[in-house]
Amino acid sequence: MFGPLISKAGTSRNNKTGSWRTESRPKFLQKNCIGCRLCAVICPEGCIEGAEKNAYHCDYAYCKGCGNCALICPKQDIVMTKEEAGD
Amino acid sequence: MKDFLEGSRAVAEIVRLCKPGLISAYPITPQTHIVEELAQFVADGKLDSQFVNVESEHSAASVVLGGVAAGVRSYTATSSQGLLYMGEVIFNIAGMRLPLVLTCANRAVSAPINIWNDQQDSIALRDSGWLQLYAEDIQEAADLHLIGYRISEDKSMMLPVMVCMDGFILTHGIEVVDIPAQEEVDRFLPGYQPLYKLDVDNPVSMGLLADPDYYLETRYAIEETMKSSLDLIPKVTAEFSKVFGRNYNGLIEEYRTKDAERVIVAMGSVCGTVKDVVDELRAKGRKVGSLKVTSYRPFPAAKIYEALKDIPRVAVLDKSVSLGSYAPLAVEIKASFFGKKRSPQLISSFVAGLGGRDITRDSIKEIFRLLSTKERAGEFIDLKPELLKENYE
């Protein structure tokens, strides 16, 4: 008899860790963004993407609301908002 | 072919015939001769295997874990402190359901440091999910490796097997041993066919996080597999005897227990001494017998119940202790009878041979003698009271 043992590649995507987010979530204002990509690089979940300036966004299914993106943004173009406020 | 071999050499010869593709070990007395021989086989081109030298037993166990995970039959051996240093990897190998055979050259555990034989090291890891098979003599120790790989790699099992052989007594003793031909071994033990393995073309993850939603089932699966191994082990040993002509039950072995009034239960090499004493006392008309427990994990409680239910007096001889409670073998023998219809009138427990203290024929006779008196719970045999008078106040 076997229990849960082996996981195929990529299956961690099935685990929607954004459900862990409790207090706040980032809001991408998309006004003063210069496309430096620092938010995408620092995101521990790797769930921020964007092709050009003022087009960066994150996938709330995985975002845990750590706030690193808002902290590192040189233009303060990402702000943390109350979770219940939604977006 | 029959040969006059040291126990370690016999084990190395059998392991060579099992063709492990990977061996990793760290030297520790009294296991060292086994892996020295295997390293020599590899160096001489007599064994096509990768021998990985490591800086510790923790690494040795980790290397073979990786080897089996990659789909390669692997082997390691250790003893005492080395086995305990492997400890967390020992649990990982079983938890990841990786088949492996490890030789434990049974030795006492520090402190105080002691390189001689008892069975405390493997007993300390009894809850790890490994099967534990205890050998009585060198031939059985060698054969249990072959049997061990077959059981371990069975597609219904995929659990590691620890072959436990008493340090020095079996590892450094010399006996006539029948080492089989390669063709016979190949017939009994085909190449390892993994059910799952690490493969860059078909990537998987093993041994990863199982949160409270998943972990319980992994333990249940091992427990159920352990129970089913009680049926598999005698099947494999029956097939073994067809190919090699030597008969093992694999779980327990009864010796002159029919009509016996007093029986000693034990594990490992001491069972040979017990049998000699049984013969001596039988010649004098005493109704005595013995029971050898080969498989401590899985524990064959039902078989033991059948073997001992009509024996009036049973002594359990442990070569290890569970400090602060009953001796490890004794507690399980007693538990086999709780709530059952029949039972020995008395089960006494004795501890002997710790740290290599010889268990002589006189020690065994003393146990038979004490078995005729009141119940004993973990009574130490051959104790020297004069050594217990030190005072550090």
Check residue B232 and give its pLDDT: 98
Check residue A6 and give its pLDDT: 85
How far separated are the first and last CA of chain B, in Å rounded? 61
Domain of residue B316, CATH code: 3.40.50.920
In a domain, A42, yes or no: yes
CB contact under 8 Å between A3 and B214, yes or no, is yes
Are B39 and B141 found together in one domain?
yes
In a domain, B292, yes or no: yes
Partner-chain residue, chosen from A4, A8, A11, that has the shortest CB–CB distance to B217: A4
CB contact under 8 Å between A3 and B225, yes or no, is no
Smallest CA–CA distance from B97 into chain A, residue: A5
Question: Which stretches in chain B have pLDDT values below 50?
Answer: none
Are B28 and B85 found together in one domain?
yes
Partner-chain residue, chosen from B96, B208, B228, that has the shortest CB–CB distance to A7: B208
**Cα B157 from Cα B268, distance rounded (Å):** 24
Q: Is the predicted pLDDT of residue A54 greater than 90, yes or no?
A: yes
**Cα B121 from Cα B182, distance rounded (Å):** 32
Are B168 and B293 found together in one domain?
no
Range of the domain at B294: 254-384
- Nearest-5° Cα angle at B39, B138 to B150: 50
Partner-chain residue, chosen from A1, A6, A8, that has the shortest CB–CB distance to B221: A1
Check residue B308 and give its pLDDT: 98
Are B85 and B62 found together in one domain?
yes
Contacts of A7 in chain B (CB under 8 A): 204-205, 208
Q: Within an 8 Å CB–CB cutoff, is residue B198 touching chain A?
A: no
Q: Within an 8 Å CB–CB cutoff, is residue A9 touching chain B?
A: yes
Q: Is the predicted pLDDT of residue A85 greater than 60, yes or no?
A: no
Chain segment A24-33, per-residue pLDDT in tens: 999 999 999 9
Are B350 and B209 found together in one domain?
no
**More confidently predicted of A20 and B116:** B116
Check residue B249 and give its pLDDT: 92
Partner-chain residue, chosen from A3, A6, A9, that has the shortest CB–CB distance to B196: A6
The interface predicted TM-score (ipTM) is: 0.84
Contacts of A4 in chain B (CB under 8 A): 210, 214, 217-218
How far separated are the first and last CA of chain A, in Å rounded? 47
Give alpha helix (H) positions in chain B: 7-17, 32-43, 57-69, 80-85, 87-95, 120-123, 138-153, 182-188, 215-244, 270-283, 301-308, 328-335, 361-371
**Given pLDDT bands bounded at 50, 70 and 90, which one contains residue A13?**
confident
**Given pLDDT bands bounded at 50, 70 and 90, which one contains residue A83?**
confident
The total domain count for chain A is 1
Range of the domain at A28: 20-85
The total domain count for chain B is 2
CB contact under 8 Å between B205 and A2, yes or no, is no
In a domain, B389, yes or no: no
In a domain, B345, yes or no: yes
Are B236 and B347 found together in one domain?
no
In a domain, B391, yes or no: no
Are B76 and B110 found together in one domain?
yes
Q: What is the least distance, in Å, from the CA of A5 to any CA of chain B? A: 6
Cis peptide before B112 (omega within 30 of 0): yes
Are B110 and B143 found together in one domain?
yes
Are B124 and B6 found together in one domain?
yes
CB contact under 8 Å between B219 and A3, yes or no, is yes
Q: Is the predicted pLDDT of residue A87 greater than 70, yes or no?
A: no
In a domain, B319, yes or no: yes
Check residue B208 and give its pLDDT: 86
Domain of residue A24, CATH code: 3.30.70.20
Closest CA to B297 of B223, B215, B218: B223
In a domain, B362, yes or no: yes
Chain segment B283-308, per-residue pLDDT in tens: 999 999 999 999 999 999 999 999 99
Are B21 and B60 found together in one domain?
yes
Contact between A70 and A79 (Cβ < 8 Å)? yes
Contacts of A9 in chain B (CB under 8 A): 203-205
Are B118 and B185 found together in one domain?
yes
Q: What is the least distance, in Å, from the CA of A18 to any CA of chain B? A: 17
Q: Within an 8 Å CB–CB cutoff, is residue A51 touching chain B?
A: no
In a domain, B84, yes or no: yes
Q: What is the pTM of this model?
A: 0.91
Are B61 and B89 found together in one domain?
yes
Q: Within an 8 Å CB–CB cutoff, is residue A4 touching chain B?
A: yes
Q: Within an 8 Å CB–CB cutoff, is residue A7 touching chain B?
A: yes
Residue B44, both tokens:
């001489």
Check residue B125 and give its pLDDT: 98
Domain of residue B202, CATH code: 3.40.50.970
